[in-house]
Every structure is written in C-alpha cells, then in structure tokens.
Amino acid sequence: MFEFRLEGTSGVARAGTLRLPHGEVQTPAFMPVGTHAVVRGLSANDVRRTGSQIILGNTYHLHLRPGEEVIRGLGGLHRFTTWDRPMLTDSGGFQVFSLQGLRRIEEHGVEFQSHVDGALHTLSPESAMEIQWQLGADIAMAFDHVVPGQSSFEAAGDGMKRTLRWLDPCKERHAELTAQPSSGSLQTMWPILQGGVHDELRLRSLEGTLARGPWTGIAVGGLSVGEPKPVMHRILERLEPALPADIPRYLMGVGFPADLLEGIARGIDLFDCVAATRNGRHGTAWLPTGRLNVRGAALKDSAAPLDPTCDCETCTTYPRGYLRHLFVVEDILGLRLISIHNIRFLVRLGEQARSHILNGTFDRWSSDWLLRHYARGD
Amino acid sequence: MFEFRLEGTSGVARAGTLRLPHGEVQTPAFMPVGTHAVVRGLSANDVRRTGSQIILGNTYHLHLRPGEEVIRGLGGLHRFTTWDRPMLTDSGGFQVFSLQGLRRIEEHGVEFQSHVDGALHTLSPESAMEIQWQLGADIAMAFDHVVPGQSSFEAAGDGMKRTLRWLDPCKERHAELTAQPSSGSLQTMWPILQGGVHDELRLRSLEGTLARGPWTGIAVGGLSVGEPKPVMHRILERLEPALPADIPRYLMGVGFPADLLEGIARGIDLFDCVAATRNGRHGTAWLPTGRLNVRGAALKDSAAPLDPTCDCETCTTYPRGYLRHLFVVEDILGLRLISIHNIRFLVRLGEQARSHILNGTFDRWSSDWLLRHYARGD
C-alpha cells in the first residue's frame, strides 16, 4: 500500500502509478477540491464521470461543519460523501494562516476564530492528525505554517522552521493513530515543504524534511500565494534534482491549465485547485482555444458543443445555446455543467501529459501547447 | 399517434396509456415542470432517472428567453433540452393572467409587460399556437383566460366565454400549422376548461369545448388558484361524468402529494406542479411519513436514507447526515438531491395508483393513504 511506481520519464516530467487503499492514481493527475465534503455543486457521480481519480477534502472546513466526529460516526469521509476512490485531506494549515480574523500562533499550535460563527478553535500538529485520522482519507497532510508569497527571508524562514519542528509531532501522532490494533494503517501522511520564494530556505526545508523520513509522498506548499509565476517555476526547478524520485510530488493549490503543464515539466505529479469549479460557477469555460464566457451573446444560437474535442458529459450532450440559456435564466444546472467540463479539461490534460511522457513526446507537445496558450495572453 | 388506451378503472379512477410522438405515457402520471426549458436545477438525465415520462415547458418564459426562434433554430425544445421523451407546453395564458404588471386584455389577445425587462409583448390565440408549434412539444395547450379562484359568476363566466371564443382561432391556426407538408403532424392541441368555482359555468365550458371537438385530450384549468380544496374536489366531481372517457384529462398546476390521489380518485389522468422542485430547493422533502425539513438538527448524525421506502438516486445513495450537511454549507447539490427525491415521490405515487387501479385495490389504498396524510395535518 502507498507504493509509487515510476513508469516513464521525459526530461524531469514523470508518469507513475500511486497505490492507495481506495484505488490507484495514475500520474500526473489533477485532484478536484471538495472543500465541504462536496466538489462544489457536483455529486460524486458527476466527479467520477470526469475521470477524476482522487479528490481533496479540507480539514479546516470539515472540522467546523459538520465536525470530524459526525463524519467518523457516519463511517468516514468516503461513506459520508459516497466518493469511493482515493481521497486526500489537507491539514488546515493553509486556511488557518489565510484567515482574516483573529489568529494567534503559538509553538504548540494556532488559535483561530471560525469564519462561520466566530467561535475559538485551536489546531495543532497533533489535533490536525487526529482530525484527519477521523475523517479517514487515504492521505493526510502534515500541519504547516504558510506565509504570504512576498514574505521576507526572515519571515519565510520562521514559517519553514516551524513547519519542520511541527513535522515531528505530526509524524509521531500519526504513527500512534495508525498503529492502533483496529486501524489497519489505512492512511499515510505526507510532509509539506515551505520556505517562501527563497531557494536556500526551500532546500533547507527539503533537507530537514527528508532527514525526518522516509515518506510515501512529499508536497510543495506555500506557492501560488501571490508570488510571480516565474518565481514559482524557479523554485520547482531548484527543488527537483533534490527530490526523491521514488515518491510522488504534490504541488498544493496549483491548477490553472498552464500551471499543470508547467508543473509537470518540472517534475510534479499531483495538483489541486479550486479554479476549475470557481470558474465554472462564474460561467468561464476552459477550452483548447482559450477561455470562453458562456454568457456571451454569440453562443445564443449555437448548436455546437462547448468544446468539440472534449468527451465530458457537458460537451457530448448540450448545445452551446442551451448552456448560455441556463446562465441567462440563472439555473444552477449551468454552474454544474461548466464545472464538470472544466474539471474534465484538467483531468484530460493530466491524461494527455501522461501519454506524451510515456511516448517520449511530452516536450514537443507541452511546449507547443504553452506557446499557443501564452500567445493568447490567457 | 395521440391515442389513449384505457386499461383499467376503479370507480372513476383510471389507468391508461397515452401514445405521443416521443413515447408513451402510462397514466395516472405526474409531469415535472421545466419552466425555463429545465426542471429547476436538474439535468435531463436526473429527470429521466426519476421515472418521469413527460415534462412541461412554459410558453411565456420560453417566448421571452431565449425566444421560440432560437429554440426552433436549435432543433426544437427536445434537442435544446436533450429531453427525448414526451413534452407538453402550456399556452402562456396562466402566466399572462397572473402577471402583476401592465396587462391589457383585448378580444384579439393580451398585451403584457415582460417581467424580465419590461418590454411589451402580445399573446393571442394564434401567436400562442405559433410559438408552441416552433417549440415543438408533443402537446400544445389552447390559449385560455384564467381568473382568480374567488372570481364572481360574472367574472368567471367572462373568462370562460372568452376561453371558448379563443378556442376557435386556436384550433384553426394549429390545424394550419400541422397541415404544412413538412410537419408530419407531430403535435396535438388540447383545450382548457375554465369557469372558476361555479359548477354551471364549468359544465357550460365543457359543453362548448366538446362541441368544438373532437380532441385528443382535455385540461381542467383555473383550479388551485386560491379556492378551497373542497371546492376544487366538487368541481372535479361535477365535471367527471360529463368528460369523454376515451381521452386523457389533465388537471393543470395541481400536484402536492395528496392532490394527486384526490384528483386520481376523481378521474384525472395527468398533473403538473412546481411544488416538488420548489419544496426541494427550500429543503423540504416529502416522505410517506409527512414533510421533513432537511436542515433539522436531528438529521446531523443520521446514516439512514432520506426515505427508506424510496428507490430514487438520493435515497439509495446518500445518508441523511450528508443531505443536511449540504444545506448547512449551502451547496447547490442539496437542492438538486431533494428535488430529485420529491419528483420521484410524485412519479412513484402515480405508479402506485396505477398499479392499485389495475389490481382493483385503489379505493382502499388511497383512502388509507389520505387518512394518514390528513391525520398528520400536512
């Protein structure tokens, strides 16, 4: 269990298969985000039909509503959501450090105010593990200290070092939980690299993390939080040669279409992002020819599919004129259908990248794709 | 085509099969309402899975958005919505006469202001037929003059007589449209009885309507518009013996659960109502044990299905605790799942009634069902 088999490379781009308790994940792969135990607006069947192999749950949100005890009582996150494939939960670190309200960082953890009702809560390395254990996803994430994208060397170093210090109690508590006789060890835990935009801190984060291993996977956190894209790319390039080849690498919170290809080209295997569903809800569809506002008057009379090259439920079923109509009359079916397409678009991009990596054509294909993308100014 | 085969009776309750260009409808049957060419929040597949055999479209709404020419250009209402089973469109009469804004009733038709942008439009018997012909449903409805439920004999008589006068141009224009060489006559048109709460007017409406026949079906309009339920039941009882037995009878805009059984017991074959989806959106589920507020705290920890006796997607898939959670976090999946259940509840009530009619057990079953229903005070 939790094995990763590397099946092919093209430069540093990788194709592999990750074995998890609820199934296999062929990488590279995009993971849709199920913030509140639901990929916004979609049923588990809708998401399955997009070809998604693994989805995310947010520990922060699920801790507040309905609470991990409720989910545990109902048989865990898989039974609760009826999603029977692999799942990953984040640790709540990102949400807690992004909160606008009251927040107090102590060495033992973070005290924060719920955005729902203002109540005080505390998340610590230990409690983040306990909550995720109760939720029961295949993969739990370590509790990390995320700093904004433009943080100074000192501030980013501070967060990175705290993340490393927190990794010890995370690992220890997670090992205790999975060692319980009844557990069957059906969950693994992955560490998160921090260090802001500073190469030296990033490499020290990696060194400290590997020293605390071994791990079944590793995540790069604290990117796509305000820093310029070239900076993110540079950090991935600096990290890549030092990352272990035999475990999957997960770039957290990153997942616009071009980000996927840029990340894969830099050795990343897994991605997640809410942009697919957020754009879908706002009527923006991702197409091979660029973004499309589904409300546009030009779609009114169109019998064409949204994306004639796409095999998703939306594109194989509905004419553009009908999709536009749903947004005009404000029916929620519209939000759902565009979200389904956008997720399928990213999942398919992962599938295409994988096939090009295995065929040795990834470089040419991805650089052509990105050239067209940037030429459009998307 | 447009044949109705009566297959069994139990008292005046009837079980039959209606043949339409897009398929058969086994009656009695509930028809979900697709106001804007979409059953609010549901895909055509969602609706198919509820066992619905026929759905409605609203001429008034579709005339305003996206317009019948757009739908015609995209291949008609079936292609537009991807609903491939039978469809019926109303005539717009009910909406036009329910509008709060400007409205001028003339002998040739009704001038009214769009609720969307205030623009002036006119609906007449002829244009209501032309619009419905372009929409292309299996069944079009005559353009009628609907009066409020408490209208005086004089006001109700006025509306009833105008409805009868309008029936002539409706019939004539519809015959011209379906006689076009290319048409293949793939649409029929049904008249609507009016007369408010006055038995004498209702019977005169029926007499005048039958004199203008023959018809392939007949509708009872202008009920469930503010009059007490016993009054509606009395009118149905007065009409029933005089209704032709060999065509289906459609009670317009009526369809809370008890209304279905009360109507079937009085010889009605078809029903439509937005209550199933409207209640669904507000988190009210219809169960054999009465209404349930899905937001209720008692559901939080419940692993039970919403309705253990129901075979719908919602009840066979999700625990109550998850359905409640979706409403708490305000995810639109919740609205959809409860709407699916409520529609299935009504569709199944039709199926059960049919089976009891064919088995000769309808009376006992429906009176027991209604006794329990009224005892709860639903």
Q: Output b/e per residue, B72-92; b: 16+ Cβ within 10 A.
A: bbbebbbbbbebebbbbbbbb
Report the pLDDT value the prediction gives residue A273, as an integer from 0 to 100: 97
pLDDT, average across residues B106-119: 93
Tell me the pLDDT tens digit for each residue of A124-134.
Answer: 999 999 999 99
Evaluate whether B47 touches B30 at the Cβ level (below 8 Å): no
CA angle B168, B170, B172 (to 5 degrees): 70
**Whether residue B348 has pLDDT greater than 80:** yes
Residue B75 touches partner A, C-beta closer than 8 Å: yes
Report the pLDDT value the prediction gives residue A184, as an integer from 0 to 100: 67
**Whether residue B85 has pLDDT greater than 90:** yes
**Whether residue B185 has pLDDT greater than 80:** no
pLDDT, average across residues B178-182: 86
Contact (CB<8Å) B43/A328: no
Contact (CB<8Å) B82/A38: no
A307 Cα to chain B: minimum distance (Å):
17
Tell me the pLDDT tens digit for each residue of B33-48.
Answer: 999 999 999 999 999 9
The A residues from 304 to 333 touching B (CB cutoff 8 Å) are 317-319, 321-322, 324-326, 328-329, 331-333
Residues of A in contact with B82 (CB under 8 A): 317-318, 322
Q: How far is CA B168 from each of CA A170, B2, B151, rounded to the nearest angstrom?
A: 80, 20, 24
Q: Would the pTM of this model clear 0.90, i.e. be above it?
A: yes
User: What is the rounded distance in angstroms from the CA atom of residue A283 to the CA atom of residue A334?
Assistant: 8
User: What is the rounded distance in angstroms from the CA atom of residue B46 to the CA atom of residue B314?
Assistant: 11
| Region of poorest pLDDT, from A108-112, B174-178, B374-378 | B374-378
Residue A175 touches partner B, C-beta closer than 8 Å: no
Tell me the pLDDT tens digit for each residue of B47-68.
Answer: 999 999 999 999 999 999 999 9
Contact (CB<8Å) A65/B300: no
Tell me the pLDDT tens digit for each residue of A318-360.
Answer: 999 999 999 999 999 999 999 999 999 999 999 999 999 999 9
Beta sheet of B120-123, edge-to-edge order: B103-106, B109-113, B120-123
pLDDT, average across residues B12-20: 98
B68 Cα to chain A: minimum distance (Å):
11
Tell me the pLDDT tens digit for each residue of A9-38.
Answer: 999 999 999 999 999 999 999 999 999 999
Residue A49 touches partner B, C-beta closer than 8 Å: no
Beta-strand ranges (E) seen in A77-198 are 87-89, 103-106, 109-113, 120-123, 139-141, 188-190, 192-193
Contact (CB<8Å) A322/B70: no
Evaluate whether A121 touches A114 at the Cβ level (below 8 Å): yes
Confidence of residue B101 (pLDDT cuts 50, 70, 90): confident
Report the pLDDT value the prediction gives residue A103, as an integer from 0 to 100: 87
The enclosing H or E element of A251 equals: strand A249-251
Q: How far is CA B115 from each of CA B56, B95, B102, rounded to the nearest angstrom?
A: 20, 10, 10
ipTM over 0.85: yes
Tell me the pLDDT tens digit for each residue of A111-167.
Answer: 999 999 999 999 999 999 999 999 999 999 999 999 998 899 999 999 999 999 999
Report the pLDDT value the prediction gives residue A99, as an integer from 0 to 100: 81
Report the pLDDT value the prediction gives residue B181, as an integer from 0 to 100: 79
* Catalytic residue flag (residue A307): no
The closest CB to that of B333, out of A41, A73, A74, belongs to A41
